[in-house]
Amino acid sequence: MSDTAQITIERSRTRLSPRSAARLRRYTLRGVALVYLGAMVALPVIAVITKGFSEGLEGLRTALAIPGATAAIRLTLITSTLAALINAVMGTMLAYVLVRYSFPGKRFLSAVVDLPLAIPTLVTGVMLVALYGPASPIGGFLDRLGIQVIFTPIAIMLALLVVTLPLVVRSVQPVLQELDDAEEEAAATLGANGLTTFRKVVFPAIRVAIVGGTLLTFARCLGEFGSVVLVAGNRAGETLTAPVFIFQLANQFRPIEAAAVATLLFSISFVLVLVTARLLRRKEDDA
Amino acid sequence: MRTPSQPPVSLPGGGRRRLVRSLIVVVCVAYVGVLLLLPLVGIVVTALKPGWSKVVETFSRPDVQHAFVLTGVITVIAVVVTTVFGVITAWVLVRQRFVGKSLLNALVDLPFALSPVTVGLAAVILFGFGGWFEPFFEARGIQVIFAVPSMVLVTIFICIPFTIREVVPVLEEIGKDEEDAARTLGASILQTWRKVTLPNIRWGILYGVALTIARSIGEIGAVLIVSGLIKGKTETATLFIFTAIEERQTAEAYIVALTLAAVSIVLLVAIESARHRIEGRKVRT
């Protein structure tokens, strides 16, 4: 990058007027950005879409006819919805606690909430296997109670909840921080109870951030692979999720079917991510 | 910071309110504890149970060492590419106006919406057998799929948004004034960039780099599809864990997993401190 800039500057000294040098620089940088995102992001996505529908809807139809295919998509939609809802509630609560309350260990809690952003998703899966697997004390104990965690939808839920824990928290937290707590205190002084204060004063202000974080969580869950693949057991029709199903199709050299299912999945989540970005951006503009 | 926990007047039901408050904190701590801390403690205990000698033995295995080196190489390339091009792209998105800018903005967010599996699949479709670019590289004798180049490419794809999304808001916030002032005072473009812009966006870049490193060393879905799982060749640290669990070599898998987790946690502390600096800056300006 510095090379291009250097060349541009030298050119500007010898041949170009300052104004055209500036324009050249601008176009060069813009060209670099366009080529970067075009080649690295747009091209692969276009490749998947065109491959998936290279035979029209036939690829999707064949893929969905495979035993366990619709069950996998249904399982992914259900677990993602549940995980998004649970973390919407818990994430909002955590954000509120982290911003408004002071208690010993608060900084530690705040750091721990961020951990899933850093810990590899596969390692999250390994952690769940280590904790709830039949060989561990806890896994063995639950097993004697008749509760199976590993290789069941419970494990899928746990994996999704861990991996997406920070998303709602980190989306709501900054909005709460900006929000003056004087209004809340006024409501409390006027006799409103905690729930009423939250519902009438706090919630309207953070609603957009909650929805944004929740949609992001849902989108993330739809595609989650690393944390799920080891703990789910991947039995067709029971614990096979859509991303693992796509992985299996790709491994069986059925790229058309894999691409068709992948397209179906990411069109859902891309719309959600776009909506989220819009929502959050508009919120920022308002503030 | 003031503590909002005491209302100015003792209100009816003040004791109850405090109780509700503590209850909410307990629920939150319990949720994070069971969901996250317990598994974390679990893996530390399980990984270190076979003793220190097992750790030494695992790390002296050539395939483990190779896996870590490969993860390192892929991560370094991904960081360099996404940082250099990410900063340029962020700059263009903030400081330039042109037709199609919102489309470019949407492209930046796209990798967040894609399953890593889909990313790997895209690489197979482009470079794999019968792929769009397969004849081109085949003719030049370059192996892309089932080799390191495709693993680097998918990792870059997945990490593209991090740096851009960290740098864009910082660039937006600092505005153009300081840069314009420097230019007016006769600084060259490069000087302005080095002395004014770069120091301002430094923490944003670092935060992006930390997120990129964390994501690169942990990437599995995309890399799994394109790597072909060739032992001692295309096996990264995460792929080692994956195959080790499948082959029931759980002790080794836990040790490598714990190492990755430890590296990530150290990184997280770095991220956190970077963010505190950024927030400190925001307060100052």
Q: What is the pLDDT of residues A152-166, one digit of tens each?
A: 999 999 999 999 999
Using the predicted structure, report yes or no on whether residue A3 has a pLDDT greater than 80.
Answer: no
The DSSP secondary structure of chain B, one letter per residue, reads ---TTS-SS--TTHHHHHHHHHHHHHHHHHHHIIIIIHHHHHHHHHHHTT-HHHHHHHHHSHHHHHHHHHHHHHHHHHHHHHHHHHHHHHHHHHH---TTHHHHHHHHHHHHHS-HHHHHHHHHHHHSTT-TTHHHHHHTT---TTSHHHHHHHHHHHHHHHHHHHHHHHHHHH-SHHHHHHHHTT--HHHHIIIIIHHHHHHHHHHHHHHHHHHHHH--HHHHHHH---TTTS--HHHHHHHHHHTT-HHHHHHHHHHHHHHHHHHHHHHHHHHHHHHHHHHH-
Q: How far apart are CA A11 and CA A71, in angstroms?
A: 62
Read off the amino acid at residue A115: L
Is the Cα dihedral A46, A48, A51, A53 positive or negative? negative
Name the CA radius of gyration of chain A, rounded: 24
Model confidence band, residue A201 (pLDDT cutoffs 50, 70, 90): confident
A108: distance to nearest CA of chain B, Å? 10
Residue B279: predicted pLDDT: 66
Tokens standing for residue A194: 């905690």
Q: Which of A34, A94, A127 is the closest to B39 by Cβ?
A: A127
Tokens standing for residue B232: 């001692």
CB-defined contacts A:B, below 8 A: 291
Listed as own residue / partner, the contacts of A192-199 with beta carbons closer than 8 Å and 24 or more positions apart are: A193/B13, A193/B17, A194/B17, A194/B20, A194/B21, A198/A96
pTM of the entire structure? 0.88
Model confidence band, residue A187 (pLDDT cutoffs 50, 70, 90): confident
At B160, phi and psi to the nearest 5? Answer: -50, -45
**Average pLDDT of span A257-268:** 92
Of the candidate ranges A185-189, A254-258, B235-239, the one whose mean pLDDT is the lowest: A185-189
Listed as own residue / partner, the contacts of B128-133 with beta carbons closer than 8 Å and 24 or more positions apart are: B128/A255, B129/A253, B132/A47
Q: How far apart are CA B67 and CA B45, in angstroms?
A: 23
Residue A117: predicted pLDDT: 87
Q: Which of B7, B17, B254 is the closest to A130 by Cβ?
A: B254
CB atoms within 10 A of CB A8: 18
Are A134 and A140 in contact by the 8 Å Cβ rule? The answer is yes
Q: Which of A112, A193, A223 is the closest to B118 by Cβ?
A: A223
B27: distance to nearest CA of chain A, Å? 9
CB atoms within 10 A of CB B112: 21
Q: Burial letters for B28-42: b for 16+ Cβ neighbours within 10 Å, e otherwise?
A: bbebbeebbeebbeb
More reliable by pLDDT, A10 or A236: A236
More reliable by pLDDT, A197 or B279: A197
Going residue by residue through chain B, which has 285 residues, state the pLDDT in tens, using 9 for 90 and above: 444 544 444 445 567 778 888 999 999 999 999 999 999 999 999 999 998 999 999 999 999 999 999 999 999 999 999 999 999 999 999 999 999 898 898 899 888 888 999 999 999 999 988 888 988 898 888 889 899 999 999 999 999 999 999 999 999 998 888 888 888 888 888 888 888 889 889 888 988 998 899 999 999 999 999 998 887 789 999 999 999 998 888 899 999 999 998 998 888 787 777 667 666 655 444
Residue A262: predicted pLDDT: 95
A-chain residue closest to B12, CA distance = A191
Do A111 and B238 count as a contact with CB atoms less than 8 A apart? no
Residue A14: predicted pLDDT: 57
Using the predicted structure, report yes or no on whether residue A43 has a pLDDT greater than 90.
Answer: yes
**pLDDT tens digits for A107-140?**
899 989 989 988 999 999 999 999 998 888 888 8
Of the candidate ranges A31-40, A192-201, A226-235, the one whose mean pLDDT is the lowest: A192-201
Closest CA to B90 of B211, B213, B197, B210: B197
Query: Is the ipTM, as predicted for this complex, more than 0.90?
Result: no
Model confidence band, residue A175 (pLDDT cutoffs 50, 70, 90): very high
List chain A residues with CB under 8 Å of B35: 158, 161-162, 165
Residue A13: predicted pLDDT: 52
A-chain residue closest to B18, CA distance = A194
B-chain residue closest to A270, CA distance = B113
Of the candidate ranges A13-17, A149-153, B25-29, the one whose mean pLDDT is the lowest: A13-17
Residue A156: predicted pLDDT: 97
At B93, phi and psi to the nearest 5? Answer: -65, -30
Mutate to test the interface with B, among A6, A25, A26, A36 (most CBs of B within 10 A): A36
Mutate to test the interface with B, among A126, A158, A168 (most CBs of B within 10 A): A126
**Average pLDDT of span A183-210:** 85
Of the candidate ranges A43-57, A272-286, B257-271, the one whose mean pLDDT is the lowest: A272-286
Residue B10: predicted pLDDT: 46
Using the predicted structure, report yes or no on whether residue A92 has a pLDDT greater than 50.
Answer: yes
A66: distance to nearest CA of chain B, Å? 19
Model confidence band, residue A79 (pLDDT cutoffs 50, 70, 90): very high
Q: How far apart are CA B73 and CA A272, in angstroms?
A: 34
Q: How far apart are CA A200 and CA A75, in angstroms?
A: 36
Do A246 and B117 count as a contact with CB atoms less than 8 A apart? yes
Do B85 and A36 count as a contact with CB atoms less than 8 A apart? yes
A-chain residue closest to B31, CA distance = A90
Do B218 and A6 count as a contact with CB atoms less than 8 A apart? no
